[in-house]
Amino acid sequence: MALASRFFSTAIKKSLRIGLIPGDGIGREVLPAAQDAILAVGSSIPKTEFISLDAGFECFTKHGEALPQETVQALKNECDGALFGAVSSPTRKVTGYSSPIVALRKQLDLYANIRPVVAIASPGERGSKVDLIVVRENTECLYVKQEQLITTSEGVKATATRVITKEASRRIGKMAFELALGRPRKHLTIIHKSNVLSVTDGLFRETIRGIPLSDKQYTEVTVAEQIVDSAVYRLFREPEIYDVLVAPNLYGDILSDAAAALVGSLGIVPSVNAGDKFVMGEPVHGSAPDIAGQKKANPLAAIRSAALMLRYMGYPDGADRIDNAVNEVLRRGEILTPDLGGTSTTEEVTNEVVKRI
């Protein structure tokens, strides 16, 4: 997975400290697999210590807070990077609860959610032409969570504030241009809905389009744009047209999950939440309460997220070893979890990847 490691210091360290936040549901089952994969690469990375940290809905039900300040402070002051498992955010309103992963992204200024979606398939198979990265702005849009319920004489009305800033749009745009520069096609597609949301999406679109005018290094990148609804349609019809996509928070979330359907499962799609000084790996899938505890969870997305984290921290050799092992397991197709049509357990798939590392 050829992603540029241009965002963090690559100074060699004698040891690494990685925060582990399993969260809820299958997060607790797949994060140990990511830990095993990191330990398996041995001398390709510095000696690694893991720090167990708490967050999630179960944490909220036990302690009254979904994201303890102790977790935030440990990440800021003690950790070189982190891995997050999954969180069970209820669909109903729960007084006092707010998603810890959304809060972590803001508190650590992890403004980019980078989601590579790559097919490991034979030519001609569905999804075999998929090789793209969704770069999702991580701190604003509707995820600022400014909602209110208003009762008037005319009835009940719910409103939500959507925030798009020039500053956030510019820095996510620069991250996307950097990624595009590191890929063979050097192609970037801006995703928006400025035909309807002309002020907010208009600002996002115009800001990113203007980046090469002031930063000449990005003129090598070909820039296109796509309305979000037609982008989803073309993603399923012509996935090969996309290379790097940059999108506001909500669109990026939807597009990357849709792209996962083309490569077999959410269970193999990784991501990192990246800022200028810190990175946190996170599998794209959720907590999957329907299969939690059944040993069916696919660990590959978490393992790939660990590789992405290492890559962005400046350890491409270790990342390559993990990615190559995962790709070989997928190509062989002999030891896979049920979401990919197999019968193997989480542990069996993890052991197979570790063996190949």
State pLDDT tens for residues 300-316. Answer: 999 999 999 999 999 99
Where helices occur in 6-68 by DSSP H, the ranges are 27-40, 57-63
What is the predicted pLDDT for the residue at 5?
A: 47
Q: Which amino acid is at 137?
A: E
Coil, helix or strand for 74? helix
60 lies in which domain range? Answer: 1-113+268-357
pLDDT at residue number 7: 54
143: annotated active-site residue: yes
Is residue 254 located within the same domain as residue 272?
no
Question: Among residues 36, 80, 131, 193, which one is catalytic?
Answer: 193
Instruction: Give the pLDDT score at 93.
Output: 83
Q: Same domain, yes or no, for 256 and 162?
A: yes
Does residue 105 share a domain with residue 193? no
Q: What is the pLDDT of residues 121-138, one digit of tens each?
A: 654 555 568 999 999 999
Q: Which of 213, 243, 262 is the last residue of a domain?
A: 262
State whether 131 and 218 are in the same domain: yes
- Give pLDDT, residue 1: 40
Confidence at residue 26, expressed as pLDDT on a 0 to 100 scale: 97
Alpha carbons 270 and 301: distance in angstroms, whole number: 5
Contact present, 226 and 234 (Cβ < 8 Å): yes
Instruction: Yes or no: say if 287 and 25 are a contact pair by the CB < 8 Å rule.
Output: yes
- Taking each helix axis from N to C end, the angle separating 346-356 and 300-313, rounded to the nearest 10 degrees, works out to 40
- Inter-residue long-range contacts of 311-316, CB under 8 Å, 24+ positions, other chains counted: 311/1, 311/3, 311/5, 312/3, 312/5, 312/7, 312/8, 312/272, 312/274, 312/279, 313/5, 313/8, 313/16, 313/80, 313/81, 313/279, 314/5, 314/8, 314/9, 314/10, 314/11, 315/44, 315/45, 316/5
In this structure, the number of other CB atoms found within 10 A of the CB of residue 116 comes to: 23
Could you give the CA distance from residue 323 to residue 263 in angstroms, rounded to a whole number?
A: 16
Instruction: Say which residue the tokens 């993603």 belong to.
Output: 235
> Which of 262, 293, 317 marks a domain boundary?
262
Do residues 86 and 21 touch, judged by C-beta distance below 8 A? no
Question: Do 252 and 298 sit in the same domain of this protein?
Answer: no
Task: Judge if 158 and 184 occupy the same domain.
Answer: yes
Q: For residue 90, what pLDDT band results from cuts at 50, 70 and 90?
A: confident
**pLDDT in the model for residue 127:** 53
In a shared domain, residues 134 and 194: yes
Domain identity same for 272 and 258? no
Instruction: Please tell me the predicted confidence (pLDDT) of residue 357.
Output: 96
Residues forming beta bridges with residue 188, ordered by sequence position? 223, 244
Q: Is the pLDDT of residue 220 over 70?
A: yes
Of the residues 143, 218, 251, 312, only one is catalytic, namely 143
Q: What is the count of structural domains for the chain?
A: 2
| Same structural domain, 257 and 272 | no
Claim to verify: residue 155 and residue 205 sit in the same structural domain: yes
Kindly name the residue from 47, 76, 166, 229 that is annotated as catalytic.
229
Q: In the block, which residue shows the tokens 């092992």?
A: 325
- Contact 84/101 with Cβ under 8 angstroms? yes
Please say if 229 is a catalytic residue. yes
The active-site residue out of 54, 253, 323, 339 is: 253
Report angle CA 139, 142, 144 to the nearest 5 degrees.
Answer: 50
Give yes or no for residue 82 having a pLDDT over 80.
yes
Place of tokens 């979000």: 228
Boundary of a domain, candidates 262, 295, 315: 262
Number of residues assigned to the chain: 357
Average pLDDT on 143-151 reads: 90
Answer yes or no: do 245 and 126 share one domain.
Answer: yes
pLDDT at 2 over 50: no
Structure tokens of 293? Answer: 């505890």
**87-96, 150-159, 288-297: range with lowest mean pLDDT:** 87-96
Q: Two tokens at 348?
A: 């069996």
50 and 179, same domain (yes or no): no
253 is catalytic: yes
What is the number of H-type helices and E-type strands within the chain?
12, 12
Task: Let me know if 191 is exposed, middle or buried by CB neighbors in 10 A (0-12, 13-18, 19+).
Answer: buried
For residue 144, give the CATH number of its domain: 3.40.718.10
Of 41-45, 112-116, 291-295, 346-350, the range with the lowest mean pLDDT is 41-45
Least confident of 1-5, 110-114, 215-219, 311-315: 1-5
For residues 299 and 350, is the Cβ–Cβ distance under 8 A? yes
